[in-house]
Structure 1
């Protein structure tokens, strides 16, 4: 009996040990310390990108404040060799460029110190996710130094910023198009998809095409009310033709991409056209929605803040989307690999600094923008129209390129046969 009771006690103790090891607390205690540290570093890196976005947003607000109210708030204690006797060269347009240059310097230094990071345990990765006190002083120095630089060099930076802003727009377009392709691939019907996915894809494409058509009609009504508005009529009509071309190519038997991706792209192209026409000068008679008194109300302020938020969101979404610009997109992520490319993230933010500078000065280095305005003027309208056409061209090439490559392969095989 003693042996039986001893064996029963041993079985019970072993059962208790097994149950205790299966408990969450036991699993947490038995977890590899390396995995715990890896999880902590990964969470730090994911939190860090939001901190950088907040910093970028605050710098945007600083640039706006320097442009509109810096000359009336700051006392005349500025560096006269850089700002001039009246301080005009440190406010308004040049003030925005100086703030943009400081933002560019900070994020470009972060790019130089993090572009080689591949693992979470590396020093570059820890520098990206931590050391915030040191980076605060680095950011402060980067923002102060441009206000001691002569105006001639700031003008040179403004010319370079135009090119950098154009590169940012191109990268943003590629990121948006890749997202549309992913969305279409996720919802497009195939042999293995169920009826629900097909219905959702059909409903979504119908909604996007409906929104696009309503946008075209609304732009004709609000921005082309008379035949004299020939330029707006041309922009809107050309946009409608682009919608038809993209839809026809998507439905072609050799392409066969369906209506979802072309519908999403159609709404995006209509948005770009609307944004371009909205950027036309205020005194234009073809814009029936804009006031002529030059004053601003709560709608102007709200639209301005939304525009700044859109800049930050566009920069953030493009910065974390480094996969769209990789040649090999099927790399398997290991446990200690970084979850997004730190160098690419900071490079996009440095280009975004140039982009928001161009929006605040309306792509014009000579004239100062009005208060609470952003991206207004013929230069801004022209850039957005070109952006729309380039977006439609890239998307069309994405549709046609697989067919062209397949046609070339077939021709090469036929020529190699005797």
Structure 2
């Protein structure tokens, strides 16, 4: 499928070569390649926001700069404020792309060529929207920071639904007639390993993050995660649901991971978090963890952006040869909300909260966001299991 789309895109490129516009705007006429370019732009924005928070704020010449219109002094455009300004520029770019590509359905449309090409124009546009937030007063940036809390929540919700949809799709795939018999042993093995990892992770969290009886909050987080894991398994194995053991095992991995991230997001001063080395020292592990977190965010945003089908409530017809390979509008909308999300990670969901260098998503607000995301994930998963039964019973009652 992807090769067919690429061949059709190459044919359109050959047509564009005959026009005078092509010599001025050399386009990457391939929507599959274009998505990687947009991901690269998103990665650069993440690195620029990090530089505004950790690196540029330490330069004396920049902190004394007073020539930028939106800044009372140069340091107002750095630190947390600088992160929000970079995030706003990235958000504006992807929202413009969203408004200009939403609803694109065919490869030969002008909006398809705009999405997949015209990179010189979009480069100029990106530079302009990146500079624009630095010309705005700090009050508007603070307002954007408040709105970004909501946008980041939307991103987490989209990502959550995408992950659950992938888990249910994988489970349905293994349960299909094609793979049900020959993959039965593999499914049992994979599910068993998942449960052992979940239980092992919970035990380790008790040892590392709840060493004392006074660590009531962490004990509550970890114990409740264990309860949710048992609840998902029980509902999935209920005779009326019969969803198997693989999907709750995979969801358990995700839920345990969110609990671990939540506890790891607790501030360094928390008494119930064991640290092998003093927090005042930035070591290579902190740097590697930060880089991995940034790359994971970009990959998660990229993979979620091309998964628009999980939000289709109706089964669509088989795609035609000239249909777009993924939803352009949804793709850019995910990146726009992702721009708000990376801002929240870099400032700890609080513009007045100082973040240590080479840290990301640290603070009590970050911890509670992760915990709420975990609970919401379980609620959405359980609803996806129970909803068909409820709708079926209501339909039966209405027909009788």
1:299 paired with 2:273, answer: no
- Counterpart residue number, 2:18: none
Cα distance, 1:77 vs. partner? 4.0
Confirm or deny: 8 A CA contact 1:38 1:335 kept in the other structure: no
TM-align CA RMSD: 1.9
SS of equivalent to 1:83: coil
> Separation in 2 of the partners of 1:395 and 1:193?
23
Deviation of residue 192 (structure 1)?
Answer: 5.5
Assess, with a 3 A threshold, how the Cα gap between structure 1 residues 241 and 194 changes in structure 2: closer, same or farther: closer
Whole-angstrom distance in 2 between the partners of 1:351 and 1:129: 21
Structure-to-structure mapping, 1:380-391, within 5 angstroms: 380-391=366-377
Of 69, 79, 83, 1:92 maps to: 79
CA–CA distance in structure 1, aligned partners of residues 201 and 382 of structure 2: 21
The within-5 A match list for 1:56-95 is: 56-73=42-59, 75=62, 76-85=64-73, 87-95=74-82
> Where do residues 4-403 of structure 1 align in structure 2 (5 Å cutoff)?
37=11, 44-73=30-59, 75=62, 76-85=64-73, 87-188=74-175, 193=179, 195-289=181-275, 291-403=277-389
1:102-133 Cα offsets, whole Å, 9 max, x none, are 00011111111111321111111001111111
Displacement, 1:193? 4.0
Select the structure of larger CA radius of gyration.
Answer: 1
Partner of 1:409: 395
SS of the residue corresponding to residue 121 of structure 1 reads coil
Q: Is the 8 A contact 1:304 1:374 kept in 2?
A: yes
Instruction: Count residues with an aligned counterpart.
Output: 380
Query: Tell me, what secondary structure is at the counterpart of 2:348?
Result: coil
TM-score (norm 2): 0.91
Give the deviation of 1:367 after TM superposition: 2.2
Q: Are the structure 2 counterparts of residues 395 and 66 from structure 1 closer, same or farther at C-alpha, using a change threshold of 3 Å? A: same
Distance in 1 of aligned mates of 2:35 and 2:178: 37
Could you list the per-position Cα deviations for residues 317-364 of structure 1 after superposition, in whole angstroms to 9, with x for gaps in the alignment?
Answer: 111000011122332211111010101100110000000000000000
Mark the CA change 1:154 to 1:35 in structure 2 (over 3 Å): closer, same or farther.
closer
Contact 1:100 1:357 in 2 (8 A): yes
Q: Is the 8 A contact 1:79 1:148 kept in 2?
A: no
The whole-number CA distance in structure 2 between the counterparts of 1:385 and 1:399 is 22
SS at match of 1:335: coil
Q: Which runs of 5+ in 2 are unaligned?
A: 1-6, 15-26
- 1:245-271 alpha-carbon deviations (Å, 9 max, x no partner): 000001000000100001000010000
Q: Distance in 2 between matches of 1:297 and 1:284?
A: 20
Q: Deviations over 1:258-287 (max 9, x none)?
A: 000010000100000000000000011211
Displacement of 1:171 in angstroms is 0.8
Distance of 2:248 and 2:360 partners within structure 1? 30
CA distance 1:115–1:205, change in 2 (3 Å):
same
Give CA deviations for 1:360-383 in whole Å, capped at 9, x if unaligned. 000002122111110000000000
After TM superposition, the score normalised by the length of structure 1 is 0.87
Shift in alpha-carbon separation, 1:201–1:117, aligned structure 2, 3 A:
same
List runs of 5+ in structure 1 lacking aligned partners: 1-32
How far residue 407 of structure 1 moved from its aligned partner, in angstroms, is: 1.5
Asked whether the 8 Å contact 2:191–2:250 carries over to 1, the reply is yes
